[in-house]
Amino acid sequence: MEMTAEKKALFKEQGYLKLEGVIPEHRVAQGIKKINHQLGSEGMIPGGDYPLTLYNGYYSYKNHPDPFYASLVNKTPIFEIAESLMGKGKLRPVSSGQIALPFPKMEDRASVTLSGHIDGMGGKKTKVPEGEFWRNFTAICVIMLSDLPEPYMGNFTVWPGSHRYLESYFQTNGHGQLFEDLPRLRGELPHGPVQITGKAGDAVLVHHQMVHAAGPNLSPHIRYAVIFRLNHVDIQKNGTEVMTDIWREFEGVREAALI
């Protein structure tokens, strides 16, 4: 997939970019086999690595050490594409991935809601203290290992344009009260939720400041995906300053805007 100026402009405008067919079929099959083997041999930890009360019906294995998962980014076109957004030599190779499996729910569409967030904000139900913000990635990469032809199949969900909206919010308010303000802000975002559809082998790159969520899985099937947090080489140096300067770690996007 060639990263044209038009595609970079699309990423800048909407805050995410869908990449079709970037993972070969044999790697998709190998990923599903590895995950199913682990579920069958080690069993399911209730709630994954999160408290059961927060993530019942969702299996999550963060920072899986198997190098196969890291290779899904480092040894596929995804790395070059993400690097073209951040700038040559500015993307760190990943060392692990998060296995993310939303299990089917028994509800219907009328009874579920889509409620987005951004990672790292402090609050009562997070690992981050209230009033603080922990930032640990430049972009999210979600690799689909399942076909998701329609919404409500556990689709990764984004609120397009929310990255730009929150930049303005943070410039005015800082980030300390986001957890309390977000319920109100959800109704003010420039676009409603988009549940991303696609095929196994597709991927999505998402700006770090995008409001996002794991959509409800009302299908009969487990949704298989591996999620990565991609880091710019200067992420520690930049810290939370990029929340009010959202393209600082996207040199390729800044350059495309000048063409």
pLDDT tens digit string along 110-145?
Answer: 999 898 988 876 655 567 666 667 788 999 999 999
**Which stretch of 21-25, 114-118, 192-196, 255-259 has the lowest confidence by average pLDDT?**
255-259
CATH of the domain at 52: 2.60.120.620
Distances (CA, A) of 58 to 27, 55, 66, 166, 199: 23, 5, 20, 28, 21
Is 50 exceeded by the pLDDT of residue 53?
A: no
List C-alpha distances in Å: 74 to 27, 54, 69. 13, 32, 9
SS3 5: helix
pLDDT tens-digit readout, 198-211: 999 999 999 999 99
Q: List the strands of the sheet with 212-214, edge to edge.
A: 194-195, 156-158, 212-214
Measured over the CA atoms of residue 18, residue 105, residue 35 and residue 230, the dihedral's sign is positive
Q: How many domains does the chain have?
A: 1
Which residue segment(s) compose the domain that 19 sits in? 5-257
Which position has the higher pLDDT, 35 or 256? 35
Average pLDDT over residues 52-60: 59
